[in-house]
């Protein structure tokens, strides 16, 4: 294979294929943790190649001896110019301690990905590996945006409206202070503007009753703070997440993660019940075929497999966290999302929006 294996920490610009004219605007380069995820590296590499075919430059980060054979024959697919390989000797395991692994495995594919973004070598990173370690790598190597105390993962939840409800946080910061939820609201509103063209997002606080004063102590204090934010519509409930009542719903990472996974499990249960009713094995493609005319393609939106990844907001760089079970299609979707965020200048816009609030 004719790919140049980049040097670790090399801050040189990606090697340009002389056969391709320099574009007016360089396509974003996405660093991909090729060793992270249950199906790494094969599915991750396959996903990266799908993105490269779509014109996104990909920096595959991982053990060169393992990755190189997967890239054999790349020249014949004319992708050589879009795919680079960055060797990293170590791998963070799915069950490694997040903080420790970042401290000890300095030459891991995950840490090297974050450094590539920090050093300007890449414009964004994607990992389907250890979620905690991915967050820790991004946080420790790229740092936080000024004015943001803790990062948040934002996830779109489809509803009856053309634009989804953005739920954050869904797992980055499990123990939250009320002030942090206000920051999440501001980041969510800015994300809604950038990605969904919503000029003034309707912001809801996830609670257990619509009236002010419903919820636990943390929620009550957060409600008071959010009342001063533009677009705040008050409390929303779990059932509102799929009803499009708010553009942005804020909560702590613990509650958000439980809600998101409950929703995923519920949707999977519908498919299981359908399979049972049809006398088919669970996961049989015919279930989808029979359901398709009835439920339409919309229900597929809730299929966890359809989610490529979620963006980690509040970090001074673009980081997309992918599901551990991601297949090539999921990885491709995640890389596209990362490239989109980089092209939209999301970090810069986030910084402006936060500083605008007078931190």
Q: Residues 143, 265, 281, 283: which binds its own copies (CB under 8 A)?
A: 265
Query: What is residue 8's DSSP assignment?
Result: T
The least distance separating its own copies from the CB of residue 268, rounded to whole angstroms, comes to: 7
Task: Please state the length of the chain.
Answer: 359
Q: Residues 224, 276, 305, 352: which binds its own copies (CB under 8 A)?
A: 276
The least distance separating its own copies from the CB of residue 265, rounded to whole angstroms, comes to: 3
Which class for 279: exposed (0-12), middle (13-18), buried (19 or more C-beta within 10 A)?
A: exposed
The β-bridge relationship of strands 309-313 and 152-157 is antiparallel
Q: Residues 260, 331, 337, 346: which binds its own copies (CB under 8 A)?
A: 260
Q: Residues 302, 328, 337, 350: which binds its own copies (CB under 8 A)?
A: 302
Token pair 């920090």 in the structure block, residue: 118
The reply on whether position 161 binds its own copies by CB under 8 A is no
Which class for 289: exposed (0-12), middle (13-18), buried (19 or more C-beta within 10 A)?
A: exposed
- Helix or strand (DSSP H, E) at 255: helix 253-278
The reply on whether position 289 binds its own copies by CB under 8 A is no
The answer to whether the beta carbons of residues 135 and 103 sit under 8 Å apart is no
SS3 40: coil
The reply on whether position 240 binds its own copies by CB under 8 A is yes
The reply on whether position 237 binds its own copies by CB under 8 A is yes
The β-bridge relationship of strands 152-157 and 165-168 is antiparallel
Nearest to 4 by CA among 86, 65, 110, 72: 86
The least distance separating its own copies from the CB of residue 262, rounded to whole angstroms, comes to: 3
The reply on whether position 284 binds its own copies by CB under 8 A is no
Q: Residues 75, 296, 303, 325: which binds its own copies (CB under 8 A)?
A: 296
The reply on whether position 90 binds its own copies by CB under 8 A is no
Spatial separation of the C-alpha atoms in residues 31 and 125, rounded to whole Å: 5
Spatial separation of the C-alpha atoms in residues 332 and 109, rounded to whole Å: 18
The reply on whether position 62 binds its own copies by CB under 8 A is no
Q: Residues 93, 140, 280, 299: which binds its own copies (CB under 8 A)?
A: 299
The least distance separating its own copies from the CB of residue 74, rounded to whole angstroms, comes to: 37
Q: Residues 263, 339, 342, 350: which binds its own copies (CB under 8 A)?
A: 263
Token pair 């997309």 in the structure block, residue: 320
Nearest to 183 by CA among 223, 150, 205: 150
Considering the complex, state which of residue 51 and residue 101 has its C-beta at the smaller distance from its own copies.
Answer: 101
Considering the complex, state which of residue 282 and residue 359 has its C-beta at the smaller distance from its own copies.
Answer: 282
Nearest to 129 by CA among 155, 95, 153, 168: 95
Residue 150, both tokens: 């803790």
Token pair 């294996």 in the structure block, residue: 5
The least distance separating its own copies from the CB of residue 201, rounded to whole angstroms, comes to: 20
Per-residue x/- marks for its own copies, 91-130, CB under 8 A? Answer: ----x-----------------------------------
Subset of residues 162 to 221 that bind its own copies, contact rule: CB under 8 A: 171, 174-175, 206-208, 211, 215-217, 219
The reply on whether position 317 binds its own copies by CB under 8 A is no
Residue 213: CA count within 13 A, CB half-sphere: 1
Binding residues (CB under 8 A) for its own copies: these are 95, 159-160, 171, 174-175, 206-208, 211, 215-217, 219, 237-243, 251-255, 257-270, 272-274, 276-278, 290-291, 293-296, 298-299, 302
């Amino acid at each position: 294979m004719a790919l140049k294996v980049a040097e670790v920490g090399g801050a040189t610009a990606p090697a340009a294929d002389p056969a391709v004219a320099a574009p007016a605007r360089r396509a974003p380069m996405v660093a991909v943790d090729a060793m992270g995820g249950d199906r790494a590296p094969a599915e991750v590499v396959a996903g990266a190649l799908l993105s490269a075919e779509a014109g996104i430059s990909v920096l595959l980060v991982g053990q060169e001896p393992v990755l190189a054979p997967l890239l054999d024959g790349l020249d014949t697919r004319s992708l050589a110019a879009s795919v680079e390989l960055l060797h990293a000797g170590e791998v963070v395991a799915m069950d490694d301690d997040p903080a420790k692994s970042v401290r000890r495995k300095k030459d891991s594919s995950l840490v090297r990905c974050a450094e590539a973004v920090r050093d300007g070598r890449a414009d964004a990173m994607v990992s389907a590996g250890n979620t905690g370690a991915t967050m820790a790598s991004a946080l420790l190597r790229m740092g936080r945006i000024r004015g943001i105390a803790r990062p948040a993962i934002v996830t779109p939840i489809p509803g009856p409206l053309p634009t989804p409800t953005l739920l954050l946080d869904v797992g980055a910061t499990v123990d939250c202070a009320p002030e942090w939820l206000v920051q999440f609201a501001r980041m969510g509103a800015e994300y809604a503007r950038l990605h969904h063209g919503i000029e003034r997002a309707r912001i809801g606080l996830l609670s257990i009753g619509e009236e002010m004063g419903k919820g636990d102590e943390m929620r009550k204090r957060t409600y008071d703070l959010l009342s001063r934010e533009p677009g705040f519509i008050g409390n929303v409930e779990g059932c509102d997440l799929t009803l499009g009542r708010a553009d942005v719903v804020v909560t702590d990472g613990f509650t958000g993660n439980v809600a998101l996974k409950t929703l995923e499990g519920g949707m999977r249960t519908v498919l299981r019940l359908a399979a049972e009713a049809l006398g088919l094995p669970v996961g049989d493609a015919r279930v989808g075929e029979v359901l398709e005319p009835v439920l339409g393609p919309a229900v597929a939106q809730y299929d966890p497999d359809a989610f490529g990844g979620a963006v980690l907001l509040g970090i001074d760089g673009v980081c997309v966290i992918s599901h551990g079970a991601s297949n090539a299609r999921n990885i491709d979707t995640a890389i596209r999302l990362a490239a989109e965020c980089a092209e939209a200048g999301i970090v810069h816009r986030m910084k402006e929006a936060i500083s605008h609030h007078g931190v």
